[in-house]
Copies of this chain bind each other. A is one copy, B any other.
Amino acid sequence: MGDVKAEVRAVAEAARAASAKLAQTSARERDGALRAMAAALRAQAGAIVAANARDMEAARAKGTADSLLDRLMLDAGRIEGMASALEDLAALPDPVGRVREERVLENGIALSRVSVPLGVVAVVYEARPNVTADAAGICLKSGNAAVLRGGSMAAASNEAIARVLHDAATAAGMPRGCVGLVSSADRAAADALMELHGVVDVLIPRGGAGLIRRCVEHSKVPVIETGTGNCHVYVHETADADKARAIVLNAKCRRFGVCNAAETLLVDRSIARSFLPETMTALAREGVTLHCDDEARDCAAWAADAAARAGVEVRFDCAEEDDWATEYLAPELAVKCVEGVDAAIDHVNRYGTRHSEAIVADPQVPAGAQAIEAFLARVDAAAVYANASTAFTDGGQFGLGAEIGISTQKLHARGPFALEALTSYKYVLRGDGQVRA
């Protein structure tokens, strides 16, 4: 434990020292380093794959599930993906040095507010080793030093990637320590990072709810909370049924394990019998189990009878109170009938995690337009959608460039956060001798 603490502090302090130099580099120098890092990943792909093979072997020996093995695995194609992501970053505009505002005060002092890097950004993550390259790249692009703590399962892969990146970056003129990897991938390393107030400027946990809660509860370093998403799709009585069904299926089934997947379907009572059975059958075809309130259960039973004749099994049961608050991250969906938009908004604000929320309604009819405006205005979430799938909240769909996570807090960054959220600002004031009365 003492060793881990000392190691983490040493890596973080090297990053701190590097950050002062990084803040003085030009965008051109940093972009050059990103391209050099991409080239180095390609050149050393063999060594990285070999390191990854050791992680894979150890994980298989432990009986790790196939889905996790797939997340862990690196091959030439995935390394190429990491490299080209770094090149994409190099092509993005510089987030540092931007003048956010400029004014001359009444006393003649010229004030400007200029974007500067945060300093040292720590990222704590789990399975995927590509996060090592993504996080290092995003931090470097924004002039920040990175301290990375990956998952233990990917230890050898992460070490190989971080070494290649650091060597390439320093060879390209970046300061030593600009990309630091904490080699101890256990919980003590994350705990040690949380203590480093004044050395680390922000801690970004990317992982399960347990990791995020631990950071929120214990970190002395400011945390950006990411990722927990209990998201809803609400189908208003004016909705076009086909559009609504497509949105529900996309939001639920596109990927079950992502934070912006829908976990509860809310449907206006007045259209439950016309809308739900066919929708439930379509969900069942995707393997989704339904947790239904009483009215939705009647619809599910009806759908199950009809679907059985077509050889499709509709699995459903009674929702319990917990279902409304559960982020399944799995082929499961809670279904509830509500009495109009106010009830839907109340339900979402009560059980949602302020991530991504959608309404489907017809904006061409007054009741639909009113419901849309009420939902968008009153639902408290990072992203509120009318007539589109919640699936757009991640994966760079908002056009912000490379994202480092999806924030579910309101401070500093909300929703998908990218390069701009890895900057702060300073006030620069130029006078000619002004003093205050």
Query: A residues bordering B, Cβ < 8 Å?
Result: 20, 23-24, 103, 105, 107, 109, 111, 116, 118-119, 197, 201-202, 216-217, 220, 222-224, 240, 243, 246-247, 249-251, 254, 349, 363, 372, 376-378, 380-389, 391-393, 395, 397-399, 409-412, 414-415, 424-436
Contacts and interface: CB of A to CB of B under 8 A. Distances in A.
B247 A435 contact: yes
A247 B435 CA distance: 6
Contacts of A103: 399
Contacts of A197: 216-217
B24 A411 contact: no
Given A23-B378, A415-B426, 15 more contacts: A20-B349, A24-B377, A103-B399, A105-B398, A105-B399, A111-B399, A119-B380, A202-B411, A222-B222, A240-B433, A383-B426, A388-B429, A392-B434, A412-B412, A414-B425
A302 to B, nearest CB: 26
Contacts of A398: 105, 111, 427
Nearest to A379: B426
Closest 5 pairs between A and B when the two form their complex, measured CB to CB: A388-B431, A250-B435, A410-B424, A243-B433, A391-B436
A197 B381 CA distance: 16
B424 A389 contact: no
A392 B24 contact: no
Contacts of A409: 201, 222
B105 A430 contact: no
- Chain A residues touching B, majority SS: mixed
Contacts of A410: 118-119, 201-202, 424
A356 to B, nearest CB: 9
Given A202-B411, A424-B414, A392 B429 contact: yes
B434 A389 contact: yes
Contacts of A412: 411-412
Given A382-B427, A411-B118, A246 B389 contact: no
A114 to B, nearest CB: 9
A228 B395 CA distance: 39
Nearest to A118: B410
Given A389-B436, A433-B240, A376 B428 contact: yes
B388 A109 contact: yes
Given A399-B103, A411-B424, A424-B414, A385 B429 contact: yes
Given A202-B411, A217-B220, A411-B202, A436 B387 contact: no
Nearest to A243: B433
Nearest to A195: B217
A399 B243 CA distance: 49
Contacts of A222: 222-223, 409, 411
Contact of A246 (B24, B411, B435): B435
A304 B299 CA distance: 93
Contacts of A363: 430
A111 B397 CA distance: 11
Given A378-B24, A411-B222, A412-B412, A428 B384 contact: yes
A76 B388 CA distance: 57
A380 B436 CA distance: 23
A421 B377 CA distance: 20
A384 B427 contact: yes
B381 A201 contact: no
A188 B377 CA distance: 36
A236 to B, nearest CB: 14
Given A411-B202, A411-B412, A433-B243, A426 B381 contact: yes
A204 to B, nearest CB: 11
Contacts of A247: 433, 435
25 contacts: A20-B380, A23-B378, A109-B392, A118-B411, A201-B410, A222-B411, A224-B411, A240-B433, A243-B433, A246-B433, A249-B435, A250-B435, A251-B435, A254-B435, A363-B430, A383-B429, A384-B426, A385-B431, A386-B429, A387-B430, A388-B430, A388-B433, A414-B424, A414-B426, A415-B426
